[in-house]
Amino acid sequence: MLNLYLFQILNGLGLGMIYFLISVGLTIIFGLLNFVNFAHGAFFMLGCYLCYSLLAATGQFWLALFVGPLAVAALAWGAEKILIRRVYHLPHTFHILITVGVALILQEGAIIIWGPIGKSIPMPDVLQGVVIMGKFAYPKYRLFLILFSAVIGFLLWLLLERTRFGALVRAGSESTEMVSLLGADIYKLFSLTFALGVGLAGLAGVLSGPIRGAHPFMGPEVLGIAFVVVVIGGMGSFGGALVGGLLIGLVQSLMTTIWPEGASLMIYGAMAAVILLRPYGLFGRA
């Protein structure tokens, strides 16, 4: 029984790191751009499908892990420059309308290209099998997922806290007008930030592909969980996205053992509890 709970805790950490990568991109975009991206889940789905296609074409998971997120980020950069920047100054209802439209285009495009039936994605050969630790065995790929996501999270923290780009993003979350007056190209900063946030969702899609596969209707589910994580952690907070992602991952994983029927319900129960105690999230600001 102890090994079962340890297994589920590790599963929860891996799931939580995936949720972190998705939600931190969402919260970075909102923090700087004050823009609500309802296409975020669709870009996650696109990352899964790119992983499938690149693996089918080359057999190289590491190539998919590198190229997939870059391709998603490049598409997001183009969408921001051509379409999304035109509605920044409009109310949030317009943000929702245009990004839901983008999500539907990506979803229907995935059905046209890959079909309506989900695709399974094989594990990379080197990460197949399990790691034996005494009487406990754990899949290599899931262990890799935890460690790799932690490294990405640390590098992202360094980018946001120790570079000029990160300083501009943090300053812009306080006042975009002040950053613009100081001479920064605010629209270039917006484009790069949007591409970075969406690229992280694409990376999460590639990483989760070998575990859950790819199907065209996964976007809304992922988007819903990402918003739960952001609400729990607090809009615009890097630390909040990490803590919120891990909390939701652990709750979901452990509840599948304790109360499988209520696993999804408890995600929203955790969100409701946080809202009652901290209306702006664990690390959010009023």
**Predicted pLDDT at 177:** 75
pLDDT digits (tens, 9 = 90+) for 24-42: 999 988 877 888 899 999 9
**Overall average pLDDT of the 212-227 stretch:** 93
Instruction: Tell me if 207 sits within 8 A of 55, measured CB to CB.
Output: no
**Overall average pLDDT of the 199-220 stretch:** 95
The C-alpha atoms of residue 253 and residue 239 are separated, in whole angstroms, by 21
**Predicted pLDDT at 60:** 93
Q: Which amino acid is at 81?
A: K
Task: Indicate the average pLDDT of the chain.
Answer: 90
As assigned by CATH, the class of the 9-277 domain is: mainly alpha
- Whole-prediction pTM: 0.93
What percentage of the chain reaches a pLDDT higher than 90? 58
Q: Is the dihedral of CA 27, 195, 82, 168 positive or negative?
A: positive
Name the token pair of 224.
């819903």
Name the token pair of 40.
């975020």
Q: Which amino acid is at 146?
A: I
Instruction: Tell me if 238 sits within 8 A of 244, measured CB to CB.
Output: no
- 161 CB-side CA count, 13 A: 9
**Predicted pLDDT at 135:** 78
**Predicted pLDDT at 286:** 57
Distances (CA, A) of 52 to 68, 118, 212, 266: 10, 11, 12, 31
**Predicted pLDDT at 14:** 93
| Collapsed DSSP state (helix, strand, coil) of residue 129 | coil
Classify residue 126 by burial, with Cβ atoms within 10 Å: 0-12, 13-18, 19+: exposed
The C-alpha atoms of residue 121 and residue 49 are separated, in whole angstroms, by 9
pLDDT digits (tens, 9 = 90+) for 236-256: 788 899 999 999 999 989 888
- 233 CB-side CA count, 13 A: 30
**Predicted pLDDT at 2:** 64
Q: What are the strands, taking DSSP E only, across the chain?
A: 130-133, 136-139
**Predicted pLDDT at 139:** 92
pLDDT digits (tens, 9 = 90+) for 168-196: 887 776 677 777 777 777 888 889 999 99
**Crossing angle (nearest 10°) for helices 263-277 and 219-233:** 30
The C-alpha atoms of residue 261 and residue 268 are separated, in whole angstroms, by 14
The C-alpha atoms of residue 61 and residue 71 are separated, in whole angstroms, by 15
Ramachandran quadrant class, 91 (left: phi over 0; alpha: psi -120 to 50; beta: rest): beta
